[in-house]
Amino acid sequence: MDLAKIAESVDEAARTATEIPQFSDEKPLSVEEAYAVQALSMQRRYARGEKRVGIKMGLTSRAKMIQVGVSDVVWGRLTDGMREEEGGVVSMAKYVHPRVEPEIAFLMKKPLSGEVSALEAMSAVEAVAPALEIIDSRYKAFKFDVGDVIADNSSSSGFVVGSWHNPETDISNLGMVLNIDGRAGEIGSSAAILGHPVRSLVSAARMVASAGEELKAGDIVLAGGATAAIPMAVGQSVLLEVEGLGQIGFKVGE
């Protein structure tokens, strides 16, 4: 299996906003192969000038793990090219099947990697914030297996981060409302992220270490979706309200 060729395929699909067939239709990728593809595809982004600014965690609800048939969360890289302006306009032309989901973001103040406790993880955090992730699978009909999704940078495509708050803010069970055009589209709690978002940060430290990387000072870590993701459409106004952390949003343009 030519992993470099597969990496080129997923990278071009993301770069040109073009859908591609699932690799699992021919020969499923193992988790190890899929992460190798992800790393190779991200190297192509870096070569074009994008800079890694953090990571995102995915499949952070037990229901999603069961649905996809995995026993662990997945992760992907974030780059400066994926960042969207809070309160700005997000262009649909950049995406294939974009969906938006509410998240909690961590800002790192010092390096973190390997097996750590929740206390150790939070001691490395500078601040927390409400966030929106735009996930976008480049596969046809938004269908994929776990190998497909990991290879495609775990569907990481865009993100918006709100105002930063004291890391001692209790984020264990914050009400989160994702509004579309002024109406509640999804209602949930930060507790839906592995029971507590800090557990996602603990997993992030472990998983980046397995790839020979670390969370660095200044990195942003998206903890994972607190609710189901909502499909995006031109003309929408997206607004996330998070108890105690304020609100953030954007408009969807062509």
**Residue 171 is encoded by which pair of tokens?**
């984020």
Angstrom distance (rounded) from CA 72 to CA 128 = 24
pLDDT (tens digit per residue) in 184-220: 999 999 999 999 999 999 999 999 999 999 999 999 9
Domains of the chain: 3-253 (3.90.850.10)
pLDDT at 137: 87
More reliable by pLDDT, 111 or 73: 111
What is the pLDDT, as a whole number, of residue 224? 95
Q: Binning pLDDT at 50, 70 and 90, where does residue 136 land?
A: very high
Alpha-carbon gap, residue 45 to 97, rounded angstroms: 20
Cα–Cα distance, 57 to 77 (Å, whole number): 9
Q: What is the DSSP string of 145-202?
A: -HHHHHHTGGGEEEEEE---B-TTS--TT-EEEEEETTEEEEEEEGGGTTTSHHHHHH
Q: Please give the structure tokens belonging to residue 86.
A: 């809070």
Look over the chain and give the mean of its residue pLDDT values, rounded to a whole number. Answer: 94
Residue 67's pLDDT is: 59
Q: What's the confidence (pLDDT) of residue 143?
A: 79
**Which segment of 21-30, 46-55, 79-88, 217-226 scores lowest on mean pLDDT?**
21-30
Q: Does residue 15 register a pLDDT over 80?
A: yes
Taking the mean position of all CA atoms in its chain, how far away is CA 18? 20
Which of 126, 26, 105, 16 is closest to 2 using CA atoms? 26
d(CA 159, CA 83): 5
* Token reading at 121: 């993880």
Average pLDDT over residues 53-79: 82
Distance CA 11, CA 17 (A): 10
Provide the pLDDT for residue 87. 96
* Interval 92-111: pLDDT, tens: 999 999 999 999 999 999 99
Rounded percentage of the chain residues whose pLDDT exceeds 70: 96
pLDDT of residue 60: 87
Predicted confidence (pLDDT) at residue 115 exceeds the cutoff of 70: yes
% of the chain exceeding 90 in pLDDT: 86
The pLDDT tens digits for 153-177 are: 999 999 999 999 999 999 999 999 9
Q: How far apart are CA 201 and CA 198, in angstroms?
A: 5
Name the more confident of 27 and 182: 182
Q: What is the pLDDT of residue 196?
A: 96
